[in-house]
Amino acid sequence: MIKKIGVVGIKDAWSSLHLAQTIGEATGFSLLIDMHRISFDSQRNTLFFHDGRLEFDLRELDAVIIKKISHPYEASLAPRLDLLEFLEHAGVRFFPQPQRVSACYNRLANTMILQKAGLPMPPTSITESFDAALKTIENYNVVVCKPLYSTKAEGMILLGADDPDLEEKLRKFHASHRLLYLQKKIELPGYDLAVTFLGNEYLGTYARVKGKDAWDTTTRSGGSYFAFNPPAQVIRLADRAREAFGLDFTSVDVALTSDGPVFFEVSAFGGFRGLKEAWGIDVAARYVTYVLDQLENR
């Protein structure tokens, strides 16, 4: 019997398209679900996906893989997750569960889970107080100001205690981000790491090497991917992070410093291209096999 597996993703994103195509090749059915085309109908007690004049009852799916709900990340993602939770309540299996996804979009929630798990992180201050933020910058010397909702360093800025325009720049950032997330800028060895897992299985680690004149390692700033074999201690700690978040596919962002490894965040969405370019691993194929096995052993 054909298993109907949908992918919540972005129609123009390589990883979403590749995952949907891989599912189609494995099962004979494929549906890429753009959340802009979802509607809830209380009378029929279901969610529909609309494609032109056609509508598909999403309760007919056996499972849904959440690849990406939106770009850019934003607080309005929460209602979308509520809709997906309704579908899960109707009996559709989700990978990962919608309630687990929220912390992957919300940097504050992400940080709180890592903190509660006792994992080492860069010194971090989160506050609505402008004065407290100024004091933090004085203590940290240089900070990375991060939006609560962003990916690939989008919207992040560097602020230094010796900047003569510090207060003006901080006020400008504060005007757009009432809750200030300030993280001490740490010295990196020119790269950071993504340690990845599928279920409980360690898949591999790749390094993001920063581009010329960039302060971050993201590909949007010219960074590139390379295969990396981290110390066993890093894999063990990353596995603790994976367990704390309870995801299916997990990418753990880690930096190696002179004081040991520090953890930035955990994601359920990145890693497909990095593992492909660094190690030749087709995560989509592995993920589909994993989901089919989970459905068989339900």
pLDDT digits (tens, 9 = 90+) for 239-273: 999 999 999 999 999 999 999 999 999 998 878 99
> Rg of the chain's alpha carbons, rounded to an integer?
20
CATH number for 124-184: choose from 3.40.50.1820, 3.30.70.330, 2.70.150.10, 3.30.1490.20. Answer: 3.30.1490.20
| DSSP structural state of residue 269 | S
| Edge-to-edge strand list for the sheet holding 31-33 | 31-33, 5-8, 63-66, 93-95
CATH number for 5-102: choose from 1.20.1740.10, 1.20.1050.10, 3.60.15.10, 3.40.50.20. Answer: 3.40.50.20
Confidence label for 149 from pLDDT (cuts 50, 70 and 90)? confident
Residues 196-227 pLDDT 10s: 999 999 999 999 987 666 655 566 656 689 99
Buried b (16+ CB within 10 A) or exposed e, 182-198: bbbbbebeebbbbbbbb
Confidence label for 73 from pLDDT (cuts 50, 70 and 90)? low
Q: How many CA atoms lie within 13 A of 133 on its CB side?
A: 27
Would you kindly state where each structural domain of the chain is located, as residue ranges? 5-102, 124-184, 187-281
Please tell us whether the domain made up of 187-281 is placed in CATH 3.10.20.340: no
Say if strands 224-228 and 38-41 run parallel, antiparallel, or are unpaired: unpaired
